Structure 1
């Protein structure tokens, strides 16, 4: 089971003069996408008992995502109000004292042996106590299972930049797979080209750094030559959940190939990584073709032209 640990929230998406509430959150979206693709997926994050919490649980159940490790909470669900500019999404978060934000390391459950990989990322890495809890979780499991991180950096959400940069440095050093967008790379390494920044991050310990670029497709930096996958051309509705879906495609492809484990990652080939890039970009293309974070099901991916 691929366990996704990180935020779930309600995206308040503009609809005329009002907002439409849609389940979302970077890590939550990846868990949903994995489940819809047919991967054995699990989710770990406190889920509120408020009405929005119930709204979050339904898509998880529908995608057959295991939520047995997710505690219920009487605290409120995080809200993210979305502004769309040219199809690009920007967010204002309402998160103080929320169910997820108040997760502590002491609240973490024991991670069962059936968990074969861990995915983390998003705004859950920024504030404490939840950021420290995720870091503690990674430190606890990294010796036995692979870890993938997508920080999905939101500069306006960061109150203590030095502390956040230090946390990312520690987490990236413990991760096997790292996904970064162009905006992420520019924030992490100002003044460097995207390829230079990704190559520098690769030296910190990860086996692969995946670099996404929207319509430019995706690249992978590893011990061999840089690998590329072209973007699938679609009419873009918005970009909400695109990177999260890409992450699921990468994990699902590596899992299908039987290499999402300590031994397999040590023996990765260009073919494995190219397949991961390809599934990630194909899955993301379907997500951006429709409003909100709405990842594809396996049958939709199968029907997408090659």
Structure 2
């Protein structure tokens, strides 16, 4: 049974793309990481240019869910950067000051084979804008993927996270890029350092398969929980997701949907996870103990929300997560086995 919700047509217009709102004291989420343009070469010779980047997709999801979100990124003041900014602004994402100071916008060139499998070439320059920081009113700081591993920006990301941690919940998604990150053995120490700084970690079973070949994903998740997070969530593609916490483990079954593609699905799950934690009043440094004591029923509702958002994303082309109004208006999504 298919499920496809048309994208809402009303966009939120932001006056300036490189500055936060005048009232910076409102509760908000800060996302730190790459925004770039995916240049997709297809076997028929056609080429598409689509905005993307894992952290940018997380910010986009939060914006579409009507959350106040600010993105710390590194874009050029060029045509490609303008396309990315327009895409973000259309979903209410605000860019932090300095985020458009890059010499050029980063690009990921994807070449698809006849089966739709892609090989990637990255033309990437990742840095954290000078002076970037999360304000004390940031409820959460999220980072992950390339930005958290690739220097010279990665060290600045970790510094920003450490500084923000006393007042903000830290969320992290490794979202590995093997074509860019090199040897898993070299990447694991950096990933585990960030896991130890995080309150909430979301990771896919595929990422864990690369980081820890042959290991049971849940065994790795349990070991990561021992490094410090309150919650580690493993996504299992079409099989749903499982959350590991001090209260035990909770699973969510994936909705049955007609999959168009999986681009941005994990990022929309991550954005929905932050959104759900906000709705449950579990964000912010002052709520860290409450997050550690989260009960199974709350975790179950949280995971159901995340898989529902991801299901809409995979039901249509590209990184196109739902807006809040779409979720509110949509009929219940059938579950596997229903």
Quick check: TM above 0.5? yes
The CA deviation at 1:161 is 4.6
| Deviation readout 1:129-168 (Å, 9 max, x if unpaired) | 0111111111111122110100101222113655422211
Once structures 1 and 2 are overlaid, which stretch shifts more, 262-271 or 291-300?
262-271
SS in 2 for 1:48: coil
Distance 1:187 1:174, change over 3 A: same
SS in 2 for 1:248: helix
> Partner of 1:56 in structure 2?
84
> Partner of 2:315 in structure 1?
289
Matches within 5 A, 1:46-85: 46-83=74-111
SS in 1 for 2:251: strand
The CA deviation at 1:244 is 0.1
Which of 247, 250, 275 is the aligned partner of 1:227? 250
SS in 2 for 1:82: strand
SS in 1 for 2:196: helix
Q: Which runs of 5+ in 1 are unaligned?
A: none
SS in 1 for 2:220: helix
Which of 172, 182, 196 is the aligned partner of 2:195? 172
Which of 50, 53, 73 is the aligned partner of 1:25? 53
The CA deviation at 1:296 is 0.9
Once structures 1 and 2 are overlaid, which stretch shifts more, 275-284 or 182-191?
182-191
Are the aligned partners of 1:50 and 1:74 in contact in 2 as well (CA < 8 Å)?
no
| Cα distance in 2, alignment partners of residues 85 and 219 from structure 1 | 32
| Cα distance in 2, alignment partners of residues 89 and 305 from structure 1 | 33
Which of 288, 293, 299 is the aligned partner of 2:325? 299
Which of 221, 225, 234 is the aligned partner of 1:198? 221
Distance 1:261 1:110, change over 3 A: closer
Once structures 1 and 2 are overlaid, which stretch shifts more, 157-166 or 179-188?
157-166
Matches within 5 A, 1:1-306: 1-14=28-41, 16-83=44-111, 90-96=118-124, 98=125, 101-103=126-128, 107-159=130-182, 161-262=184-285, 263=287, 264-306=290-332
The CA deviation at 1:272 is 2.4
The CA deviation at 1:14 is 4.2
Q: Which runs of 5+ in 2 are unaligned?
A: 1-27, 333-338
| Deviation readout 1:183-211 (Å, 9 max, x if unpaired) | 11222333221211211111111111101
| Cα distance in 1, alignment partners of residues 174 and 314 from structure 2 | 20
Count how many residue pairs are aligned between Structure 1 and Structure 2: 301
Are the aligned partners of 1:87 and 1:239 in contact in 2 as well (CA < 8 Å)?
no
SS in 1 for 2:121: strand
Distance 1:261 1:270, change over 3 A: farther
| Cα distance in 2, alignment partners of residues 110 and 154 from structure 1 | 26
Once structures 1 and 2 are overlaid, which stretch shifts more, 129-138 or 77-86?
77-86
Distance 1:267 1:225, change over 3 A: closer
TM-score (norm 1): 0.92
TM-score (norm 2): 0.83
| CA RMSD after TM alignment | 2.0
